[in-house]
């Protein structure tokens, strides 16, 4: 059974970059193959990983919805074929992207496809890393469920920490099967204040660690270089790896 880690947090906290660092860590530790899942309708995990999106689960859903199933092929076989085609293979990990359905309507069908496909894929990967969209909508739609670790990424702001606590509260309220929740404070310039630590403790969360603000990340991002290629001695990667050493089985 795959060991699954889902990342969540409000927008702008750097959770997708941290997801890339986690995948980098797992590959380095030979905990492979890893299945990377981009469950954000505004997909950009592929950019962090340096991969080009070939297809998405959202596209597959739209094709089936529009009746584009070839003659003589059942919808189940068509969807299985499309989902297999959507898997992007890389060195030590594969990527699957949920994507965004076309036009109006909710993403419930695409989320159901993602969940069902992940269940079928799980036995092929010892680790799954799921990068979720910002906020709490993915949890209320139950996109994130039955995960070993919910890694909630916050920036050092009060609003970021409040969002982290609320995400954890919602996950526990919905009873979606989270083994353990941690918060990581990202982009820090100094040690967390006593007030910040108190907010985390009062919210019932455990602080896994902090990741410092790192100019190298901005340089990579601005130049379009995949941040999974960040040097291992960069301050953010060193800090992230120390966190992963503590929380990854």
Cis peptide before 186 (omega within 30 of 0): no
| Sequence-separated (6 or more) residues with CB below 8 Å from residue 147 | 4, 5, 6, 130, 177, 178, 179
- Across the chain, what does the average pLDDT equal? 85
Q: Distance (Å, rounded) from C-alpha 26 to C-alpha 29? A: 5
Of the ranges 4-8, 30-34, 244-248, which one carries the lowest mean pLDDT score? 4-8
Of 130, 127, 140, give the one whose Cα is nearest residue 20. 130
Q: Is the pLDDT of residue 123 over 60?
A: yes
The Cα–Cα gap between 7 and 75 comes to 32
Locus of tokens 């070839």: 70
Mean pLDDT on 99-106: 59
Domain spans of the chain? 3-247
For residue 71, is pLDDT > 60?
yes
Residues 79-84: contacts with CB within 8 Å, 24+ apart? 79/113, 82/55, 83/57, 83/113, 83/117
**Bridge partners, residue 210, by sequence:** 185
- The whole-angstrom separation of Cα 216 and Cα 24 is 16
- For position 101, what pLDDT does the model report? 57
What integer pLDDT is reported at residue 31 of this predicted model? 96
What's the pLDDT band for 35 if we cut at 50, 70, 90?
very high
Indicate the pLDDT class of residue 42, thresholds 50, 70 and 90.
confident
Which parts of the chain are beta strand (E)?
A: 3-8, 34-39, 88-89, 93-97, 127-132, 147-154, 178-188, 206-212
Confidence of residue 140 (pLDDT cuts 50, 70, 90): very low
Return the bridge partners of 95, or none.
Answer: 36, 88
Structure confidence by residue, pLDDT tens digits, 153-190:
999 999 999 999 998 888 878 766 788 999 999 999 99
- In this prediction, residues 38-58 reach a mean pLDDT of 87
pLDDT at 76 over 50: yes
User: What's the CATH architecture for 3-247?
Assistant: 3-Layer(aba) Sandwich (3.40)
What distance separates the 2 farthest-apart alpha carbons in the chain? 65
**Distance, CA of 25 to CA of 244 (rounded, Å):** 8
Whether the pLDDT of residue 23 is over 80: the answer is yes
More reliable by pLDDT, 137 or 31: 31
């Amino acid at each position: 059974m795959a060991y699954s880690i889902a990342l969540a947090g409000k927008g702008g906290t750097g959770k997708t970059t941290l997801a890339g660092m986690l995948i980098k860590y797992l590959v380095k530790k030979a905990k492979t193959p890893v299945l990377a899942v981009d469950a954000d309708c505004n997909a950009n995990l592929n950019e962090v990983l340096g991969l080009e999106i070939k297809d998405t689960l959202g596209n597959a859903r739209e094709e089936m919805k529009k009746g584009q199933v070839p003659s003589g092929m059942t919808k189940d076989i068509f969807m299985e074929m499309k989902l297999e085609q959507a898997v992007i293979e890389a060195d030590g990990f594969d990527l699957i992207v949920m994507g965004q359905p076309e036009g109006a309507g909710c993403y419930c069908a695409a989320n159901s496809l993602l969940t069902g496909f992940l269940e079928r894929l799980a036995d092929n990967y010892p680790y799954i890393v799921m990068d979720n969209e910002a906020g709490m909508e993915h949890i209320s739609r139950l996109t994130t469920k039955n995960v070993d670790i919910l890694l909630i990424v916050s920036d050092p702001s009060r609003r970021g920490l409040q969002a982290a606590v609320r995400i954890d509260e919602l996950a526990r309220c919905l009873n979606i099967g989270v083994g353990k929740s941690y918060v990581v404070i990202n982009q820090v310039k100094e040690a967390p204040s006593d007030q910040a630590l108190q907010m985390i403790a009062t919210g019932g969360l455990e602080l896994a660690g902090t990741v410092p603000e790192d100019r190298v990340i901005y340089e990579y991002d601005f130049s379009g270089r995949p941040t999974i290629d960040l040097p291992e001695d960069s301050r953010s990667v060193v800090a992230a790896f120390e966190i992963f050493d503590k929380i990854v089985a």
